[in-house]
Amino acid sequence: MAEEAILGYLEHHEEITDSGQFAADRALDHNEVVNVIKSLHGFRYVDAQDIKKEAWVLTDEGKTYAAAGSPEVQLFLAVPTEGSIPKEELQKKLDPSVFKIGCSQAGKNKWVEMGKQVSRKVEHVEDKIKDLLLRIQEGQAVGKDDVNTLKARKLIVLQTWKGYSVRKGPNYAPKRKKVATDLTRENLQRSDWKELEFKEYNFNAKGPPSECGCLHPLMKVKKQLKDIFLQMGFEEMPTNNYVESSFWNFDALFQPQQHPARDSHDTFFLQAPSTTQELPEDYVERVKHVHESGGYGSRGYGYDWKIEEAKKNVLRTHTTAVSSRMLFALAQQGFAPKRYFSIDRVFRNEAVDRTHLAEFHQIEGLVCDRGLTLGHLIGVLEDFFSRLGMSKLKFKPAYNPYTEPSMEIFSYHDGLGKWVEIGNSGMFRPEMLRPMGLPEDVNVIAWGLSLERPTMILYGIDNIRDLFGHKVDLSLMKRNPICRIGI
């Protein structure tokens, strides 16, 4: 109906000056009229020009005051003509927002005397605010100062209306001719294709994007890091055990059973199954002895080590639990120099904020060989991080229960203009390695960092919850480019 009305009107008139008025006169939906005008304009049946009108309209609060009166007048009328009223009693007679605004505006206008008792200072007031709101509601013009007053009180907002003026186009016809979009077998059989008018073929039109899987930014960075490890001669450790026993996660790493990290506030403990029964007995005894009495140049921790605590199942707090399993297996099958790495999820009972999650990824690398020193560790770290594009490194002494010496790794961030911590490192302690059965002259150097931090830096993300978790926008995966580490 809208299309017939527009084309029919233009057959006898030169122009539709206002699409809004045109729709109102014919009881048509203006949105439908606008859509038809856009379609006709696209096929050059009409030429359309934009019309934009701005008008002040009442907010919901403004509509309320236009009906019931402004807060200051409502408050004034609630005060007795003679005498006064306690402020608490006056407050009960009015809506809380009306009372608050009314006190401010009536006091500002010097209509009432405010105190513990409220009384009138004038006999009669005019509700100018209500009058202005009613005038705007009826489409009448008001002064600039009055508009500024109402706008400051958020009683009116500027509303923009968009429409069109319409004239005949170069392809105008009183009725749109339907063009064919397909040549069918019936057209050929009847030979009526000669009389058909076909829609122009747009060779520049793009087809709909194909639905396909996309890699998450974390997976792109993980792939690049994995390639770097492989180029350096490392082999990947199996990391499919999200659930670990406390023994492999803590005790095998010479971490005491009273350590704060083993508290439920920092670690997720499993309810079912709550414990494990599969631990190597001989190795467990050696670990127990080094915790209680020491050995290999250590005094131990001097406490009563409990197997019940070691058997508790946890969600692994670091992939170093995987490293302890791999090193123990290496010692049992006969030592040979190895380079291992892993990149996978770990879990900690953290308070979630913009930089912390309870579930995240850890990158870990280790080298196991004879005669390794701290100098070898620094050299490997400089090689590894230079491949990530981080050539300026600093090292700071640190403490870890299972490494000595230990170092925090810092890199100079050109964008931030300062040194930022990028990882932790150290040499595994003899108290950890010798009970496994590794030879006396074998040392292990290792380092670790998170996967999320470099990913956030590379992709310009400042909130970890925008990168990983249930609130992530899935379009993040489609619109982000490949990872280009080191460039």
At 487 the pLDDT is: 45
How far is the C-alpha of 106 from the C-alpha of 120, rounded, in Å? 10
Report the share of the chain in percent with pLDDT over 70: 97
Q: Which helix (H) or strand (E) holds 12?
A: helix 2-12
At 191 the pLDDT is: 86
At 291 the pLDDT is: 92
Instruction: Give the mean model confidence (pLDDT) for residues 381-391.
Output: 83
At 484 the pLDDT is: 62
pLDDT band for position 368 (cuts 50, 70, 90): very high
pLDDT tens for residues 126-182? 999 999 999 999 888 889 999 999 999 999 999 888 899 999 988 888 887 777 888
Which distant-in-sequence residues (6+ apart) come within 8 Å of 192 by Cβ?
A: none
Residue 370 burial by Cβ neighbours in a 10 Å radius (0-12, 13-18, 19+) = exposed
How far is the C-alpha of 221 from the C-alpha of 391, rounded, in Å? 18
At 265 the pLDDT is: 63
**Is pLDDT at 448 greater than 50 in this prediction?**
yes
At 416 the pLDDT is: 65
Instruction: Give the mean model confidence (pLDDT) for residues 236-240.
Output: 89
Least confident of 29-43, 307-321, 455-469: 455-469
Tell me the sheet residues that pair with 382.
none
The position carrying tokens 């900690």 is 348
DSSP-assigned states of every residue in 106-157: HHHTT-EE-SSEEEESSS----HHHHHHHHHHTT----HHHHHHHHHTTSEE
Residues 221, 227, 233, 235, CA torsion sign: positive
Instruction: Give the mean model confidence (pLDDT) for residues 253-278.
Output: 83
How far is the C-alpha of 58 from the C-alpha of 299, rounded, in Å? 80
pLDDT band for position 264 (cuts 50, 70, 90): low
pLDDT band for position 355 (cuts 50, 70, 90): low
Cα 378 from chain centroid (whole Å): 36
pLDDT band for position 415 (cuts 50, 70, 90): low
Complete domains list, the chain, with CATH: 220-479 (3.30.930.10)
3-state secondary structure of 196: coil
DSSP 486: T
Q: Phi/psi of residue 89, each to 5°?
A: -70, -40
Tell me the sheet residues that pair with 157.
57
**Is pLDDT at 2 greater than 60 in this prediction?**
yes
pLDDT band for position 103 (cuts 50, 70, 90): very high
pLDDT band for position 461 (cuts 50, 70, 90): confident
What rounded mean pLDDT belongs to the chain? 86
* Token couple for 485: 């580490």
Single pTM value for the model: 0.56
**Is pLDDT at 258 greater than 90 in this prediction?**
no
**Is pLDDT at 278 greater than 50 in this prediction?**
yes
Question: Do 330 and 350 contact (CB within 8 A), yes or no?
Answer: no
Q: Which helix (H) or strand (E) holds 235?
A: strand 235-236
**Is pLDDT at 217 greater than 90 in this prediction?**
no
